[in-house]
Amino acid sequence: FTGKPVDGYAANRVLGTQALCRALER
């Protein structure tokens, strides 16, 4: 991470998407 807020937002977006997919699989 470069420390930019956008990088953190992108990472949270990806992690959130993965968590959502796993939740839907159950």
List the chain domain ranges. 1-26
pLDDT at 3: 62
pLDDT at 21: 82
Q: Would you say residue 1 has pLDDT above 60?
A: no
pLDDT at 4: 72
Decide which of 3 and 22 is more confident.
22
Please enumerate in sequence order all residues whose Cβ is within 8 A of that of 3, keeping only pairs 6 or more positions apart, or say none: none
Alpha-carbon span 20 to 7, nearest angstrom: 20
Give the helix/strand (H/E) hosting 19: helix 5-25
pLDDT at 10: 82
Query: Tens digit of pLDDT for each residue in 5-20?
Result: 777 788 888 888 888 8
Q: Would you say residue 25 has pLDDT above 80?
A: yes
Give the helix/strand (H/E) hosting 9: helix 5-25
